[in-house]
A and B are shown apart, each in its own frame.
Chain A
Amino acid sequence: MKAPSLATTKWRNEAQLTENATILEDLIAEKCDQDEFTPRIAQVKGKIMSEQTVTAEASASRLEAFTRAFNRGRQHWRTRQHLLDTDDLTPGELASITDVATEAKKILKAGDAPLSVLHTRTIATAFYENSTRTRSSFELAARRLGATLLNLDVASSSVVKGETIIDTSKTLLSMGVQALIQRHSASGSARQMARELGDRLHLINAGDGWNAHPTQALLDYFTMSEVRGSLNGAKIAIVGDLKHSRVARSNIRLLTRCGAMVHTAGPPTLTPIDLGKMGVIVHSKVEPAIENADFVMVLRIQLERQKQGLIPSIGEYRRLYRIDSARMRLAKPEARVLHPGPMNRDVEISDELAECSEKSLITTQVTNGVAVRMAVLYLLLGE
C-alpha cells in the first residue's frame, strides 16, 4: 500500500523541487558567487525533503482510506455490470458510492497526484451528443484513477460514416476496452446497448435522451447528503422543463427511493403526463413546490422550447419560474439551490443566487461530480 503512494506523491514534490532549484539557480546566476549560495541551496533542499515526507504520509493515508472505502463497498457492487439508471441501485450500492466518493473528494481537495488503482483498465467515452462538463468530469475521474482513457471523437468517427453505435461499441470491445461511458440522444440507448453487449463490457450511462443521467443524480444526492445527512423526509423541489429532462427523471427515481418528498414545478406544457405516478407531487406554480423546501433543484430550460411553442416567451418563463433570492425565501432558511449546468443565468436562475455562496451548491456539485464518478468507476472496475 505504501510503496505506490510514495511513488505517486513523488511526482508532485519533484516538480516543486525543480521549481525551487530553478529559482535558486537564477539567483546564483545574478550574484555570480556560487560559494556564498551553496550552503543555502543545501538548506532549502533539506527543508523540501522534510516537507515531502509529511506530504507523502498524508497523501498515503488518504489513499488508504479511499481503498478501504472501496473494499467495504465492493461486496455490494460485485454483481453489478452496468450503471444505466438510479432505479435499480440497492441501498448498499448507494451507500458505498457516498463512502468512496467522500474519500475521493479528500484526495481531490488535497491535490494529490493521480492514483494507479485502475492502471490496468481501459475506459472509453463515446458522447454522441454534445457535452462539456459531464465528459470532462468523467475524463478527470478516469485519469485520477490511473486508467487508460480513450475518447472517441464522434464527430470524425465512423458513426458519421454510417456505422451503427452498436458496431462502434463492439469495435471498442474488440480493442480491449473494459468500460464504455456513453451519451446518446435516444432515450433507452444505454439499456439497448447494455442488452447488446451483455457482460462483456461495463456500460456507464452518461445520459440517454430524456430518460436517465444516473451519475448526475448520484452527484446531486451526494451533494445534498453532505449538507443534510439523510434525505429521508427532506422536501426537494425540482423546477423547470421536466418533460425533456433526464436529470429530473433519474433524480426522481433516486430521491423518492431515499424517502425524500419530491415536488415538481414547471409549465403544464413541459410537465409530462402522469408524472405524479413516479411518486412526486406535481405543481404548475413554483411557489407551492419550493415552499418550506430543503433543496431547490433548478433545471436548464432549452431556449428552443419557445420556438417549439412550449412556452410563449423566455420573458414569461423567467417571470413565472426563475429561482431567485426572493423566491428562495419561501423555502427553509437553510435551503440550498442546485443546478446541473450549464446555466442560463437570469433565465431559470438569477445571477445573484447562482453566485451566492451561502445558498448555491452549484460549484460543489461540479467538484462532487468528479468524486462521485471516481467512486462509480472504481466500484465498477476496481480489483
Chain B
Amino acid sequence: MTLVQGMLLKNVLLIDPSRQLEYQGDLRVQGNTIVEEGKSLSSQSNEDLIDGTGMWVVPGLIDMHTHMRDLGQRDKEDLHSGTKAAAAGGFTTVIAMANTEPPLDGGAIFAMYLQRIRERAVVDVLPVACVTKGMRGEELTNMVELSEAGAIAFSDDGVTIQNMAVLRRALEYVQLTGKLIISHAEDQDMVEGGVINEGFVSTRMGLPGRPAAAEAIAVARELELVRMTNSPYHFTHLSTARAVELIRQAKRDGLPVTADATPHHLSLSTDAIVEFDTHLKMNPPLRDEQDKQAIIAGLIDGTIDAIATDHAPHTRLDKSGMFAECPVGIIGLETAFAISSKALLNKLGRLKFFALFTINPARILDLPEPSLQRNSPASFAVIDPERIWTYDPLEGFSRSRNTPYAREQFKGKVVMTVHKGNRVYEDSAFKERRERVGTHEG
C-alpha cells in the first residue's frame, strides 16, 4: 500500500454512474482526493503519469455483503487478508456481516471489531450488527447503542428470524436508528437440514434439499411486516424466481424494499453441482436455470438493486469435509466483477452495470455516492476490459481458497485499485507496464 502523492491517469474511459456520465478523458489525483477530471490534462512534474489507453476507471466498488471473519475465525480470513482481496476485486468499501465468532451483538465486541478494522483493513469496512442477541432470533440487541457506535445496518445473516413477532419488533425498533435491516430470507423449518436446492439434483445425489419455496415463503411474510411497519428493508442474496417476483410486486406497491444478488446465483445453477464438490455448496443454494434467469432479469429491470458477493471464506480443512456436513459459502471478492460482467455487462451497458456496485448500494445504505467528480475521495478502480486472465485462487489475497471458479478464464480484470489516495492493489502486468512507460516518459 503506497500513498499516491500525485497521479495523472491519461486516456482512460471514465465511467461515473453518479452522474450518468462516461467519457474518454484524464483523471488527476493529489493526496487522497480527485483534484481534476477532463480531457487532455497536462502532466505536472510532481506526479506519476499513467497512460491508461484502453482502460476504464470506475468509482471504488461497494460490496454490500461480505464475511470478513477475523476475531475467532482468523484462520478463515482476517480484516487484512479480506480487505486485500476486496481491493483486488476493485472494492473500496465492504459491508461486513455480523455472524463473526463471537457475533457482533453488543457494544464491547462491536468496539473491538472496529478497533481491528482500524488496525488491519486496507479499504473501508462498515460492519453490520446483529438484530438479535446471539442471532438466536429472540431478544433484540441494543440497536441504538450499536448504531451510534457505527453499525451500518442490522442483520442476523446466516439464519432467518423465524418468529414474526420478534421481526416485527425489530422493524419497529430499528426506526430509532434510521438504519435498515438486511434479511437472509429462508424459512428455517422448511430448510430442515437441506444442503442443496431441492430438485432432481438433490434426489439423484441423495442429499437433503432446501426447497425454493422456503425463500419465497420467508420473503412473502417479511414483506407483510414491511407493509405494516414501513421500515426500510433489504433482502440479500436472492436466489429464486418467486422471491424476485414478490419483490417486484412489493416495489410496485411502493414498499421501502431493496435487494441484492450474488455473482454465483446469476452465473451458476444446480446443474453445475457435480460429484459432491463442496465448493458448490452455498447458502442459499444454487437454484434451477429458470431461477438464475429470473435473477438476471431482476437485475436488468431494477427489481434487484445491487450485486453483492456473500464472500464467505472457509479453510481447506473446513471444505474437505463431507458435502452434507461441511460449512456453506464461497469466496467472491476477487471474481465478482469478472463473473458479473460476463453475464450482464452487454445487457445492461456500463453505466447501469457499475451502478449495481456503486450508487445503488450507496443509496440503500445511505452512504455518499462514489464518484469521479472533482473533490471526491480518490477511491476508484482501474479495469482492463480486454484482459484475458485465468483465476487462480492460490495467487489470491483471501486467506481461503473455497471457490468453484478456480482455473476459470475471464475477460476483463481489475488492474489497479486506489483507496483514498492509497494504491491498495495493482496487477503485476499493469505495474510493469506503468513503470516501463513511466520511466520512458519521465
User: Which of A166, A212, A274 touches B206 (beta carbons < 8 Å)?
Assistant: A212
Residues of A that sit less than 8 Å from B by CB = 164-166, 184, 186-189, 191-192, 195-196, 208-212, 246, 249, 272-275, 277-278
* CB closest chain-B residue, reference A195: B275
Known: A188-B275, A246-B206. 16 other contacts (CB 8 A): A187-B205, A187-B276, A188-B206, A188-B323, A192-B278, A192-B322, A195-B275, A208-B206, A210-B206, A211-B205, A272-B203, A273-B198, A273-B200, A274-B203, A277-B200, A278-B203
Q: Mark B264-291, 1 if CB is under 8 A from A, else 0.
A: 0000000000011010000000000000
Asked whether B252 is an interface residue with its Cβ less than 8 Å from the other chain, the reply is no
Separation in Å of the B3 CB from the closest CB of chain A? Answer: 46
- Interface pair A188/B322, CB less than 8 Å apart: yes
- Interface pair B202/A186, CB less than 8 Å apart: no
Q: How many residues of B contact A (CB 8 A)?
A: 21
When A164-B321, A192-B276 are in contact, do A273 and B207 touch as well, CB less than 8 Å?
A: no
Q: How far is the CA of A187 from the CA of B203 in the complex (A)?
A: 11
Shortest beta-carbon contacts, A-B, top 5 = A188-B276, A210-B206, A211-B206, A186-B322, A274-B200
Q: How far is the CA of A212 from the CA of B276 in the complex (A)?
A: 13
25 A-B pairs, CB-CB below 8 angstroms?
Answer: A165-B322, A166-B320, A186-B323, A186-B325, A187-B205, A187-B323, A188-B205, A188-B206, A188-B275, A188-B324, A189-B322, A191-B276, A192-B276, A192-B278, A196-B320, A210-B207, A249-B204, A273-B202, A273-B209, A274-B199, A275-B203, A277-B200, A277-B203, A277-B204, A278-B203
* CB closest chain-A residue, reference B192: A308
Separation in Å of the A214 CB from the closest CB of chain B? Answer: 13
* CB closest chain-B residue, reference A184: B322
Residues of B that sit less than 8 Å from A by CB = 198-200, 202-209, 275-276, 278, 317, 320-325
Q: How far is the CA of A188 from the CA of B324 in the complex (A)?
A: 8
* CB closest chain-B residue, reference A272: B203
* CB closest chain-A residue, reference B200: A274
When A191-B276, A209-B206, A212-B206 are in contact, do A186 and B200 touch as well, CB less than 8 Å?
A: no
- Interface pair B204/A187, CB less than 8 Å apart: no
* CB closest chain-B residue, reference A166: B320
Separation in Å of the A217 CB from the closest CB of chain B? Answer: 13
Q: How far is the CA of A188 from the CA of B208 in the complex (A)?
A: 12
User: Which of B203, B207, B209, B317 touches A188 (beta carbons < 8 Å)?
Assistant: B207
* CB closest chain-B residue, reference A248: B206
- Interface pair B321/A187, CB less than 8 Å apart: no
Which of A186, A196, A211, A278 is the most central at the interface, judged by chain B CB atoms within 10 Å of its CB? A186
* CB closest chain-B residue, reference A208: B206
Separation in Å of the A223 CB from the closest CB of chain B? Answer: 23
Within 8 Å CB of B198, what residues of A? Answer: 273
Separation in Å of the A276 CB from the closest CB of chain B? Answer: 9
Within 8 Å CB of A166, what residues of B? Answer: 320
Within 8 Å CB of A184, what residues of B? Answer: 322
Q: How far is the CA of A208 from the CA of B205 in the complex (A)?
A: 10
Within 8 Å CB of A186, what residues of B? Answer: 322-325
Within 8 Å CB of B204, what residues of A? Answer: 249, 277-278
